[in-house]
Amino acid sequence: MLTYRNVWFISQIVYSVGLFGLLLSRSLKLMLFIAGLMGFSIAVVQWIPFTLINIAIIDMDGGSKPESGDSAGRAGTVLGIHNAFIAAPQILSSLACTVVFNFVKGEVGDSISWIFAGCGLISLVGAMMVLRIADTHR
């Protein structure tokens, strides 16, 4: 049952739990351990989308690797769109952090706590969205 989609879903849940765990922990050693576990999620989020895109492109080309100019152009377009969807959330999160830092006038730790909580909730939303992706058995 370990498909790409399921591993991606699990990684999103681990990331959310890790963010909430960082908020609740007071021990530096525990925080470092949790951050290390969250590295799994970060690796998966950077790997699986490209793998799923590659599988989809191969399936569109009838099971062979894209070698023709048309297939390579289509692959480039899909990867370009994917990169745009990576950059947009980074810009939006920077803007959201600016708003949080302006509204939370306390210590920096308070602002970061709010940001971690927000990121944890967004990661849970991402996990639910991953479940909407069709499962692939490659």
What pLDDT does 113 receive?
Answer: 81
Average pLDDT, the chain: 83
Residue 14's contacts (CB-CB under 8 Å, 6 or more residues apart) are: 37, 38, 40, 41
Work out the average pLDDT over 113-134.
89
Residue % of the chain over a pLDDT of 70: 87
The pLDDT of 100-113, averaged and rounded, is 76
Phi, psi at 109, each rounded to 5°: -60, -35
Which secondary structure element, helix H or strand E, spans residue 67, and what is its range? none
Q: How far apart are the C-alpha atoms of 134 and 130, rounded to whole Å? A: 9
pLDDT in tens, 44-99: 988 888 888 888 777 776 666 655 566 667 777 888 888 888 888 889 888 988 88
Of 1, 2, 4, nearest in space to 48 by CA? 4
Tell me the domain boundaries of the chain: 4-130
